[in-house]
Structure 1
Amino acid sequence: MRDQTVDRSDLRGDCANCFGLCCVALPFAASADFALDKRAGTPCPNLQGDHRCGIHARLRQEGFSGCTVYDCFGAGQRVSQITFGGQDWRTGSRENARRMFDVFPLVRQLHELLWYLTEALTLPAARPVHADLRRLLTQTDALTRLTPDELAELDVAAHRQRVNVLLLRTSELVRAGVRGPKKDRRGADLMGARLKGADLRGADLRGAYLIAADLTGADLRCADLIGADLRDTDLTGADLTGAFFLTQPQLNAARGSAGTRLPESLTRPVHWTAGL
């Protein structure tokens, strides 16, 4: 396995080497995020014959902003090119296509865990649990290499729980290094909350609902943001330096500016500066 503590490029979506699995395997409902209903296993009408999106450059304008905030963490190319050996669901049997669509969400979960475990290994404060993190990283990587039949029998939820115990310990170790009182907002309902300029250094925001919250100018340094819902959250001018377990899809779902300070592993969403 590549040393993912250094290079996480394998854990980012590579649409050129995927058979458009997220556009077929996953369902979505007509809403502010999607312009229409689509059942799981049914190709999106915007999916072209070459597995590319026909409206990729206009997704937000066409009512498909949900697509712009999704990332498979590299599961798409893994399932397409490795798990199924490059077999295109369009040309294979219907049964093979169904198995591919069933396996894709499972591998996506495993790849997301690889992202978190890899990040945890880059955090010096988590050194006391680095050995356990490496062990689980190796185990999780091995699970992504199972056959389709083996993946279908895998209890991903149980494995996620084992990983989560260690990620919680990692969070405690990292946030303990932040001086002063630290807010515990784990799973809190903060939808639309006015938190402009709030001091959230070292805060536990795991799974918090921050939909449309005002976090302009907030200090989120070394905050745990795993699973936080940042849809339409205003991060203009906020400082997320050292914020951990934050993913690119979360950032893509939020609003921000050129002045928003981000962790080095993430990129500034194009729509933050394009006014979309």
Structure 2
Amino acid sequence: MSDGRPAAEQRHDLRGDCASCFGLCCVALPFSASADFAVDKAAGSPCHNLRADFRCGIHDRLRQEGFPGCTVYDCFGAGQKVSQVTFGGRDWRQDRETASVMFAVFPVMRQLHELLFYLTEILARTEARPVHDEARRALDETEALTRRDPAALAELDVAARRQAVNPLLLRASELVRAPHRARSRRGADLIGARLRKADLRGADLRGAYLIGADLAGADLRDADLIGADLRGADLAGADLTGSVFLTQPQVDSAKGDGATRLPPSLTRPGHWPAARAAAPGERTSGKAGPRKPAAKGGRQKKGASKGTWRTPGR
């Protein structure tokens, strides 16, 4: 993976490419009837909306049909890796004997690709230059794991790999956040917290529970958001440029607008409004920030709306 290309280009490979995947997230993963999904689905059972060509039959109206969870899922490119590399283009319908192994490998690959996403971010941060050599080694080692054969991948202790890489992620985060000297809120219960326009620059929010929090207009530059649960959090007008280890699924699960500022590696969700509605009595210029290209629809599965990284031992 550390192939000499700029880190930004390498990260482009760590996004889901549904056209090159056999609909693995629509088959391998389970979900339960809830606000995110209209029905129950067992692991290994194809979603009833999955077409013969492995595309979603209601892709353009998932939210209206009761599947908003599907729109905030991203596999970090694991789907196409498993489909085209690990199994060499053999799909689970053509080769039913490999289906169970393929479905077992997919979530393992996703976790490895999530690690690759974080490691490439370290290489993109000049503040983390002191750990770049270590990050390149970890990147190459993790990429090598993704190239193992199906049986080896299915048996891989991915939790141990995450545990091994976590100290490096911590050091990189500390280097980025050092100038701010912000207080740690790691793992904090901030569900529904009133943090509107809060100065959270450089804050350690690893694994924090920010479900439904009011972060409108908050300054989250250089804040560590790895594993933070942002479901339903209000990010209207918030500044997340430079935030550390923020992922597309986290952004997609939150509520933002055209004035929300995101890191350049992430895409503004298509379901976000162009501008935040003014609160009663509030004056607004009506101007929104530059709108980035809308994210392609993804597939959100059970438990995947938040960042999946959890700080070991938290």
What is the TM-score normalised by the length of structure 1?
0.96
Q: Tell me if structure 1 keeps the 8 A contact 2:122–2:128.
A: yes
Task: Give the aligned partner of residue 225 of structure 1.
Answer: 225
Change (3 A) 1:61 1:240: same
Distance 2:168 2:74 in 1: 24
Report deviation, 1:274.
Answer: 6.8
Aligned-residue Cα RMSD (Å) equals 1.2
Residue 84 (structure 2) pairs with residue 81 (structure 1): yes
Residue 195 (structure 2) pairs with residue 195 (structure 1): yes
| Aligned counterparts, 1:255-270, within 5 A | 255-270=255-270
Task: Give the aligned partner of residue 152 of structure 1.
Answer: 154
Report deviation, 1:153.
Answer: 2.1
Of residues 125, 140, 143, the one that matches 2:142 is 140
* Alignment gaps of 5+ in structure 1: none
Deviates more, 1:251-260 or 1:265-274: 265-274
Distance 2:101 2:241 in 1: 41
Distance 2:70 2:167 in 1: 31
Q: Tell me if structure 2 keeps the 8 A contact 1:125–1:177.
A: no
Residue 143 (structure 2) pairs with residue 131 (structure 1): no
| Aligned counterparts, 1:240-259, within 5 A | 240-259=240-259
2:129 maps to a residue whose letter is R
Distance 1:177 1:124 in 2: 14
Q: Tell me if structure 1 keeps the 8 A contact 2:257–2:274.
A: no
Cα deviations by residue, 1:75-131 (Å, 9 ceiling, x for unpaired)? 0000000100000101112x3000000000000000000000000111111111111
Distance 1:117 1:174 in 2: 14
Higher relative contact order (CA 8 A, sep 6+): 2
Query: Residue 102 of structure 1: SS of its match in structure 2?
Result: helix
Of residues 43, 53, 63, the one that matches 2:66 is 63
Distance 1:155 1:15 in 2: 27
Change (3 A) 1:274 1:26: farther
Residue 36 (structure 2) pairs with residue 36 (structure 1): no
Q: Tell me if structure 2 keeps the 8 A contact 1:4–1:118.
A: no
Hey, which of these two has a bigger chunk of helix by percent?
1
Percent of pairs with identical residues = 71
Report deviation, 1:4.
Answer: 6.0
Cα deviations by residue, 1:175-202 (Å, 9 ceiling, x for unpaired)? 0022xx4021111111111111111000
Distance 2:64 2:203 in 1: 35
* Alignment gaps of 5+ in structure 2: 276-314
Of residues 162, 166, 178, the one that matches 1:176 is 178
**Where has structure 1 moved over 4 Å in runs of 4 or more?**
none
Q: Tell me if structure 1 keeps the 8 A contact 2:233–2:255.
A: yes
Change (3 A) 1:240 1:274: closer
Task: Give the aligned partner of residue 271 of structure 1.
Answer: 271
2:196 maps to a residue whose letter is K
Report deviation, 1:241.
Answer: 1.4
